[in-house]
Amino acid sequence: MKLTVFGEILWDVFNNEKKIGGAPFNFAAHAAREGADVRLLSAVGKDALGDEALLACTRMNLPTDGIARVDFPTGRCMVTLENDIPSYDLSGDMAYDHIPLPEDLTDTSTAFYFGTLAQRGEESRATLRKLLFGDGQQYDEIFLDINIRQHYYSDELIEESIRAATILKISREEIGVLQIPGDLPVICKTLLKKYGNLKMILVTMDRDGAMVYERGGKITRSEKPNCEVVSTVGAGDAFSAAFLVHYLNGCSIDECLKRANRLAGWVCGHVEAVPVYPMDDIRKWKAIYRLLNHVETETYDCGTLCDSACCICKGSTKDMGIYLFPGEHLLLRESEKEEDWLTWELQDPAEIEFPESWTGPVYFVNCKTPPVCPRKWRPLQCRTFPLKPVIDENGVLELIWEDEELPYTCPIIEQNLPIHDSFYKATYTVWMHLLRDPRIMDLVQSWS
Ligand code: SF4
Ligand code: SF4
């Protein structure tokens, strides 16, 4: 699914440290992680910060061909946090005020995202108007994250922006700017009546969670993310990205809100607006493997109980192998420098029943000579079988026996044999680490 994102790329500066940001950039990076094919239209300067911004885009897998280099400084914003609430100081005439019209106006995107800040510059605003109202532009959805910053808005700009959108995202604090009397549902009803183009309004309400008010009056609410807050910078953009991507994928509003909350909660636990997914780091996988290197289900290799049933799967007609978790391939590729023991297959997560947040290819490996393998390189699924993680109704991690139908009989499951306490504890610790990666959390939730 293709998504065009228009607006600012800027450096958020916290206490002399700088982090790449800007709501459209954050949104684009999160949307790409959630599986969208993103086209980012923006501008950076011909300066060192511009070079770094393009590098940051590449690192986030965002294409840079829609990002112009212009004769203005790359955007920057001073961010201060008070009680975890960010405030922003945006200054000067910046590159993102001068986003030019792209040479290639062909756009096959399903949806378009924009906000108000980049429209403070006449040049960017004129470009946006042409993109939204030009000939032949037909998006299924136009998502406006109103994102009011300082004094960079006017009644006329807000009016024109809302008139262009099909989905409006606004925070409870921002809604006052619209000067509509009444409580939130009344304000949303009034807005939907005034703007026939809007299908729904998404209101974020800080500690009270979020609410979606749909045309027709249906209200869906969600609790605020359950997380320890380090910084809320970028959380709203993550929320918008997850909501829109999953909405475009056909998820129910309830499901979109759940996924949006989950991603926003994870971002709140980090200083960065777009944190690196934890398990994309080979050092983390090394630590995980180390934790499990010295524990077995029993004090001996349980494969002797069953003639290594789960390695060999005698009589199975299925192509047996093991799926790797996000980032795990980094470590197993290393193993191949020492051993030639795996065959690799790349699978498309969309064609197998994996969560939509699994955007990259999924690696499926087969052991060449099972049950003989280099023990220190066994993939995670081998190491933790037959324990399976699930999340209970209180959000607590539990380990249960694998309950999927298997093409072999595992005596540990069948006979409910006791397993070694150290194995249980190490496996629990490992899953607690893995669940910090929202993709793995999505997978485990799908099993629960
Ligand atoms: S986990 Fe079960 S099936 Fe696999 S080797 Fe051990 S006893 Fe056999
Ligand atoms: S990695 Fe080793 S234990 Fe796991 S399936 Fe392959 S041969 Fe069996």
Q: Give the end of a domain, one of 224, 256, 276.
A: 276
Nearest to 101 by CA among 41, 169, 148, 145: 41
Clarify whether residues 169 and 307 are in a common domain.
no
**Closest C-alpha residue for ligand 2 atom 8:** 311
What are the backbone angles phi and psi of residue 290, rounded to the nearest 5°? Answer: -60, -40
342 CA to middle of ligand 1, Å? 20
**Closest C-alpha residue for ligand 1 atom 2:** 410
Clarify whether residues 309 and 372 are in a common domain.
yes
Are the beta carbons of 274 and 236 closer than 8 angstroms?
no
Q: Which ligand is nearest to the CA of 372?
A: 2
- Please state, in angstroms and rounded to a whole number, the distance separating the CA atoms of residues 159 and 197: 12
Structure-block tokens of residue 117: 């800040």
Candidates 302, 331, 382, 406: which one to mutate for ligand 2, based on the most atoms within 8 Å of Cβ? 382
- Domain ranges, residue 80: 2-276
The model's pLDDT over 14-24, given as tens digits with 9 standing for 90+, comes to 777 888 999 99
Measure Cα distances from 230 to 261, 330, 335, 407, 408 in Å: 16, 29, 36, 45, 46
Are the beta carbons of 44 and 99 closer than 8 angstroms?
no
What are the backbone angles phi and psi of residue 2, rounded to the nearest 5°? Answer: -100, 145
Q: Which ligand is nearest to the CA of 380?
A: 2
Q: In this structure, which amino acid lies at residue 406?
A: L
377 CA to middle of ligand 1, Å? 17
Distance of CA 430 to the CA centre of its chain: 22
Q: Give the end of a domain, one of 276, 311, 327.
A: 276
Clarify whether residues 237 and 290 are in a common domain.
no
The model's pLDDT over 86-128, given as tens digits with 9 standing for 90+, comes to 777 887 899 999 999 998 878 889 999 999 999 999 999 999 9
Q: In this structure, which amino acid lies at residue 442?
A: D
pLDDT at 215: 95
Q: Give the end of a domain, one of 223, 243, 276.
A: 276
**Ligand 1 atom with the shortest distance to the CA of 386:** 1
Tell me which residues have their CB closer than 6 angstroms to ligand 1.
297, 302-303, 305-306, 308-310, 385-386, 410-412
Clarify whether residues 236 and 357 are in a common domain.
no
The model's pLDDT over 237-280, given as tens digits with 9 standing for 90+, comes to 999 999 999 899 888 999 899 889 888 888 888 878 888 777 88
Clarify whether residues 86 and 228 are in a common domain.
yes
Q: Which ligand is nearest to the CA of 386?
A: 1
- Counting the structural domains of the chain, the total is 2
Residue 383 beta carbon below 6 angstroms from any ligand 2 atom = no
Clarify whether residues 69 and 166 are in a common domain.
yes
Per DSSP (E only), the strands in 273-421 are 322-323, 342-347, 362-367, 387-391, 397-401
Clarify whether residues 37 and 185 are in a common domain.
yes
- Please state, in angstroms and rounded to a whole number, the distance separating the CA atoms of residues 97 and 43: 8
Strands 2-6 and 111-114: parallel
Clarify whether residues 131 and 181 are in a common domain.
yes
Clarify whether residues 260 and 327 are in a common domain.
no
Would you call the peptide bond into 86 cis, given omega within 30 degrees of 0 as the criterion? no
Clarify whether residues 167 and 246 are in a common domain.
yes
Q: What is the DSSP string of 337-361?
A: HH---EEEEEE-TTTTT--TT--SP
**Average per-residue pLDDT for the chain:** 89
Measure Cα distances from 115 to 8, 142, 160, 190 in Å: 9, 11, 12, 21
pLDDT band at residue 319 under the 50/70/90 scheme: low
Instruction: Please state the rounded mean pLDDT for residues 278-301.
Output: 85
User: Residue 224 pLDDT more than 80?
Assistant: no
- Please state, in angstroms and rounded to a whole number, the distance separating the CA atoms of residues 149 and 88: 7
Greatest Cα pair distance in the chain: 75
447 CA to middle of ligand 2, Å? 23
C-alpha neighbours within 13 Å on the C-beta side of residue 401: 14
User: Residue 70 pLDDT more than 80?
Assistant: yes
- Please state, in angstroms and rounded to a whole number, the distance separating the CA atoms of residues 290 and 298: 18
SS3 (DSSP) at 240: helix
Clarify whether residues 145 and 258 are in a common domain.
yes
CATH of the domain at 179: 3.40.1190.20
C-alpha neighbours within 13 Å on the C-beta side of residue 374: 13
Residue 430 beta carbon below 6 angstroms from any ligand 2 atom = no
pLDDT at 317: 58
Strands 397-401 and 111-114: unpaired
SS3 (DSSP) at 101: coil
Nearest to 36 by CA among 27, 44, 45: 27
341 CA to middle of ligand 2, Å? 10
**Ligand 1 atom with the shortest distance to the CA of 308:** 5
Clarify whether residues 323 and 249 are in a common domain.
no
Nearest to 264 by CA among 316, 207, 183, 199: 207
303 CA to middle of ligand 1, Å? 5
